[in-house]
Amino acid sequence: MFTGIVTDIGEIRDLEQRGDLKARIGTAYDTSGIDIGASIACDGVCLTVIALGPDWFDVEISAESIGKTNIGGWAVGRGVNLERALKVGDELGGHIVSGHVDGVATVTAIKDEGDSTRVTLAAPPDLARYIAPKGSVALNGTSLTVNEVDGTTFGINFIPHTKTVTTWGGVAVGDIVNLEIDTLARYVARLREFAA
């Protein structure tokens, strides 16, 4: 379980396809405090640590995860948003995020508004119905508030702090981003199906 509050920008150092995809991710985390088997959200995807070094960790990624996320576009040198799993008693600063990405969204427009940046994204129709104005989404592992929704497109406003401490400072039109819809929205929609 995560909150969508990114705590490090990691770097893809190596990718090796061998049955599953193995990735080595450089990090500023103190890896002596990470256990083998720990969960780390990498661009919002909950992945399991299988090996550790002084400033890196390795993860294995299944074909299922690659098919549902933007991991197929990862390349050596790419930055990724990182978040360690919640511990009991941790502050819940964002919203409840599982690290189980539902699909991908595409950046369709970017516009500076003062010091902030408005980013418009297109979501798959089957996921767009769960996205509501002033609701929450996780995009590349970042907990964000939806500003507006128009059909399958929605807008997010990025303040300067978020652009500095995540990979969102380098966003570009055409980027494919991991989308996890709000768990509460999913359950409300499911309950409405039973009530109908």
In SS3 terms, 130-192 reads as: CCCCCCEEEECCEEEEEEEEECCEEEEEECHHHHHHCHHHHCCCCCEEEEEECHHHHHHHHHH
Average per-residue pLDDT for the chain: 94
Residues 6+ apart with CB under 8 A from 187: none
pLDDT band at 95 (very low <50, low <70, confident <90, very high): confident
> In angstroms, what CA-CA distances link 5 with 30, 75, 91, 123, 145?
18, 24, 10, 22, 13
Answer whether 61's CB lies under 8 Å from 24's CB.
Answer: no
CA contacts within 13 A on the Cβ side of 84:
18
Report percent pLDDT > 90 for the chain.
84
Distance CA 94, CA 16 (A): 33
Based on the domain organization, do 73 and 136 belong to the same domain? no
In a domain, 132, yes or no: yes
Dig out the tokens for 24 from the structure. Answer: 């080595």
Based on the domain organization, do 141 and 188 belong to the same domain? yes
Answer whether 67's CB lies under 8 Å from 61's CB.
Answer: no
Residue 134 has pLDDT above 80, yes or no: yes
Question: What is the domain range of residue 70?
Answer: 8-84
Res 89: pLDDT: 73
Average pLDDT over residues 71-82: 97
> Can you give the CATH number for the domain in which 39 is found?
2.40.30.20
Q: Which residue has the tokens 């490090």?
A: 8
In a domain, 17, yes or no: yes
Distance CA 75, CA 23 (A): 10
Average pLDDT over residues 103-121: 97
pLDDT band at 191 (very low <50, low <70, confident <90, very high): confident
Res 93: pLDDT: 78
CA contacts within 13 A on the Cβ side of 90:
16
Based on the domain organization, do 107 and 170 belong to the same domain? yes
Of residues 135 and 191, the one with the higher pLDDT is 135
pLDDT band at 196 (very low <50, low <70, confident <90, very high): low
Based on the domain organization, do 56 and 138 belong to the same domain? no
Distance CA 153, CA 121 (A): 5
